[in-house]
Copies of this chain bind each other. A is one copy, B any other.
Amino acid sequence: MLELRLVQGSLLKKVLESIKDLVNDANFDCSATGFSLQAMDSSHVALVALLLRSEGFEHYRCDRNISMGMNLGNMSKMLKCAGNDDIITIKADDGSDTVTFMFESPTQDKIADFEMKLMDIDSEHLGIPEAEYHAIVRMPSTEFARICKDLSSIGDSVVISVTKEGVKFSTRGDIGTANIVCRQNTTVDKACSCHIHLPEEATVIEMNEPVTLTFALRYMNSFTKATPLSNTVTISLSSDLPVVVEYKIAEMGYVRFYLAPKIEEDGEEEDKPKPLTD
């Protein structure tokens, strides 16, 4: 028996909007710890990891560990039927091949239940080691989204370079080149007093050593679908490690996207990024 009651249902709606374009089908894993998902994107280049900790739910009952295979497109269709203020409850009976989403309007005047068929999905659950990163950039999520969108109108790849001074996003395409530098914000104090820059709106860099890596903008732009989940995004970079783009979900967990860097080809267009798994 599984019953997870999430008061801020819009979170789940946003989570699905953020990952459904990347992943078609995935197993949601439910345990006493929380509700989580790990899945490769359809082209096996990027990886999504979601965690919603049990503490974030108003009510969390999960009698035994269970893995529920869902088509994220269909799940998203159903969640779109929930109002943004609705309380969402996820229910599944033991051994059932369906999951039920229940939506309660804030006033309780409208109660909806949507039942969806589960699927069998075989997924390799990768253990993702906690790595030490050369550099971690935290910046406003909307700003990162804007940068990825802007750059992708010029080129296909983004070169991200981090130094103590700031982070530089560069691209190159047929029509020209572009470089966007976000300076580490050193004026947080002043910012607060003039009510323009809240700390969340600053770019903050934690750096052990400078790092420069190249990524496919196509995936970066997919990741930024998670922007509504958090005001800030964290980008963790190390040479030869997949980048981690993380959106924290308030009080509950995170959505993390992993993407392998492009190998610097001095030659030309090799459009296939390196898969995360060989």
Contact = CB atoms under 8 A, between A and B. Distances in A.
A76 to B, nearest CB: 10
B113 A179 contact: yes
Interface hub of A113, A176, A180 (most chain B Cβ within 10 A): A176
B115 A177 contact: yes
Contacts of A71: 175
A182 interface: yes
Contact of A112 (B81, B176, B179): B179
Interface in A109-157: 109-117, 143, 150-151, 153-154
Given A110-B143, A154-B114, A81 B178 contact: yes
Interface in A195-236: 196-197, 202-203
Interface string A4-47: 00000000000000000000000000000000000000000000
A183 interface: yes
A196 B109 CA distance: 12
A109 B175 contact: no
A180 B112 contact: yes
Given A78-B154, A81-B150, A109 B176 contact: no
A166 B32 CA distance: 37
A130 B154 CA distance: 41
Contact of A109 (B113, B117, B154, B185): B185
Interface residues of A, number: 37
Interface in A243-263: none
A1 interface: no
B81 A153 contact: yes
Contact of A74 (B108, B150, B175): B175
Nearest to A202: B109
A192 interface: no
Contacts of A183: 108-111
Given A143-B110, A181-B112, A197-B107, A117 B176 contact: yes
Given A77-B154, A109-B185, A115 B176 contact: yes
Interface of A: 71, 74, 77-78, 80-81, 98, 107-117, 143, 150-151, 153-154, 175-183, 185, 196-197, 202-203
Given A77-B154, A109-B183, 5 more contacts: A74-B176, A98-B176, A111-B183, A116-B176, A117-B176
9 closest cross-chain pairs (CB), A and B: A81-B150, A116-B176, A112-B180, A74-B175, A114-B178, A115-B177, A115-B176, A111-B181, A77-B153
